[in-house]
Chains A and B, each alone.
Chain A
Amino acid sequence: MVAKELIEARWKLFGGALLATLIATLTDFTYSNTREMLNSAAASQQPGSIRDYMVQMTSSFDTFIWNSWFSLSNNGGLVMVVLAVILGAGLIAGEVSKGSIFLLLSKPLSRERVLLTKYVVSAAILFAVVLFGSLVLLLVAALQGHPQNTLGMLISDLLFWFALLFALGLATLFSVIFSDVLRPLALALVVLLLVALPGFVPGWQALSLPSYWTSLPAYLGQSFPLKEFAVALVAAALPLAAAVLLFRKQQY
């Protein structure tokens, strides 16, 4: 079953890896351009808050890489989240819409095993893509003369992967509920947006899940994000547990 899942997801894996490579490479190369842009006349006309953010973001190469790669509001993070949602949305709904769910459920496998096998394969694909992207990022940064903290990168990758597991679990949950792939995809993205909203309200950052999915001190090797890991782990487990419970009862 694992082989079948890998064959099914192979284009998503290749596509994700390709995009990750592209974004990682571009991220490394855009640092100097972004700094130059900050000094331009156009940047001086930007509102203060945006300019402050850009200054903070480009204060060092490491900060810039962390912001660009691990922030869910930037290219690297967004692409990975969308990949996670695409993988999760088709997990069960894809089987139902194609009718192959009947073949799958006619086998002597428990529904929990079916769902978890599919989930674990998708989670492994996400981890591989995140790790691959980070390796490219490290390599290009080293070639540019900006060696990064490898351990910090690895810890941040793990934390970021937990964020992706939340997105994957959420899309999987909706994939169990609906019989088409489009609705799980759209709903998971909407819920992800909703859980990020408190982060935009001053004083509510602690209620925003994305604030736990990235940690600059961890990336810089200054501290271990234990609290962040705990929150991210619980957040990732909840939608998955709900999906398993629902799938067990679902009628086909």
Chain B
Amino acid sequence: MSTTTAIKQEALPVTSEAAAIEINNLVVSYGDKRAVDGLSLSVPIGSVYGFLGPNGAGKTTTIKTLLGFRQPNGGSAKVLGYDIVTQSLALRARVGYVSEVNSMYDYLTIPQMADFCRATSLRWDQSAVDRYLKMFGLPLKARVKQLSKGMKSQLAFSLAMGSQPDLLILDEPTSGLDPIARHDLLNQLVGEVAAGGTTVFFSSHILSEVEAVADWVGIINAGKLVISSELDQLKSSQKVLKLIYAEAPPPAEIDALRALPGAVRVDQEGRSVRITVHGDVNTLSQLVQARPYALRDAEIVDLNLEDIFLEYMKEGGNGR
């Protein structure tokens, strides 16, 4: 155990966390601008939680606040049961973090970086680090400055795992990586880490990678939570009903479709109408087909995460 750590492992306060992360009405401001604006969120223990949002939505600010880099201006949050303001040290002893910029110390070699992380961590599993370094095939004697961006991400991830975290927070971990490096990092590692019981909370705006590995997603926009849900449930609760009419329906009919239960959005292009449905799409389909306008075709289409994300962003943009 390191002599430089500020707290001893046995001194860690015992918590009875119900969720890995519990955020209540969090507000974080940069001057007059609210980067996080009343965010409330719960990340279940053991989940792989994809934290989504467009650039500038407040993802990184939220993570920085959870880790104590910034102080909240309002609200509260707990990570692994620890208050982010008053128990930040204990919290950080159990959390692994890989930052967006992956800035490590260029002048250190990989073993020196590992020594630094070991000396500043409360728990350390060198065999886990060695295993990940070997898995990635990183050149062990190289200095950090000699590594590519992808290799630096892999190193950051390996070192974060050395502290045996109960929660792994990754802020845009695959930003700037090529598809192969991204695949390696996410599919192999997040899968393996999550299988070991570690909660993974990672922010991203690359939706396909989130969909590939996450079992929970939260979407944030303009500092506010848009939705937080289990991914399968989110996908099953949202469908699109694609309709092709014999003749273009009049505006009154489009308004009538909008009023149907579960229809959250209706888009028309000539004879083609697209209804985004939250809830029971089959019942809505039957209602549509019972209406007095002839349909050539009606098809229920599953939404992928990107579609869902865009729908929520459009709804947000429409003030809904």
Contact = CB atoms under 8 A, between A and B. Distances in A.
A251 B70 contact: yes
B293 interface: no
A3 B7 CA distance: 20
A227 interface: no
Interface string B92-129: 11010101010111111000100111011110000000
A108 B70 CA distance: 15
A99 B64 contact: no
B188 interface: no
A2 interface: yes
A230 to B, nearest CB: 31
B103 A99 contact: yes
B45 interface: no
B70 A252 contact: yes
Given A98-B103, A107-B120, A7 B108 contact: yes
A150 interface: no
B99 A102 contact: yes
A1 interface: yes
B71 interface: yes
Given A98-B103, A102-B99, A103-B103, A109 B69 contact: no
Interface string A76-112: 0000000000000000000000111011111111100
Nearest to A111: B68
B67 interface: yes
A107 B88 CA distance: 10
B208 interface: no
Contacts of A107: 92, 117, 120-121
Nearest to A4: B116
A181 B265 CA distance: 53
A105 B104 CA distance: 12
Q: Which secondary structure dominates chain B's binding surface?
A: loop
B6 A8 contact: no
Contacts of A109: 4-6, 89, 120
Chain A: interface size category: 20 to 34
Contacts of A104: 120
Interface in A8-42: 8
A11 to B, nearest CB: 9
B92 A106 contact: yes
A117 interface: yes
Interface string B192-209: 000000000000000000
B73 to A, nearest CB: 10
Most-contacted residue by chain A among B69, B90, B93, B106 (CB, 10 A): B69
Contacts of B105: 4, 8, 100
Contacts of B89: 108-110
Nearest to A249: B71
Nearest to B171: A102
B5 A4 contact: no
A7 B104 CA distance: 14
Most-contacted residue by chain A among B64, B93, B97, B120 (CB, 10 A): B120
B119 A3 contact: yes
Contacts of B101: 99, 102
A117 to B, nearest CB: 7
B120 A1 contact: yes
Contacts of B116: 1, 3-4
Contacts of B93: 108
A99 B122 contact: no
A113 B2 CA distance: 14
Nearest to A112: B6
B6 A113 contact: yes
Contacts of B90: 108
Contact of B119 (A1, A100, A105, A249): A1
A248 to B, nearest CB: 10
A224 to B, nearest CB: 36
14 contacts: A1-B120, A3-B116, A8-B105, A8-B107, A99-B99, A104-B120, A106-B97, A108-B92, A108-B93, A109-B4, A113-B4, A117-B4, A251-B71, A252-B69
Given A106-B67, A107-B92, 8 more contacts: A1-B116, A2-B4, A98-B103, A100-B105, A102-B101, A105-B68, A108-B89, A108-B93
Interface of A: 1-4, 7-8, 98-100, 102-110, 113, 117, 249, 251-252
Interface of B: 4-7, 64, 67-71, 89-90, 92-93, 95, 97, 99, 101, 103-108, 112, 115-117, 119-122, 156
Which 6 A-B residue pairings sit nearest by Cβ, starting from the closest?
A: A99-B103, A108-B93, A107-B120, A99-B101, A106-B97, A252-B69
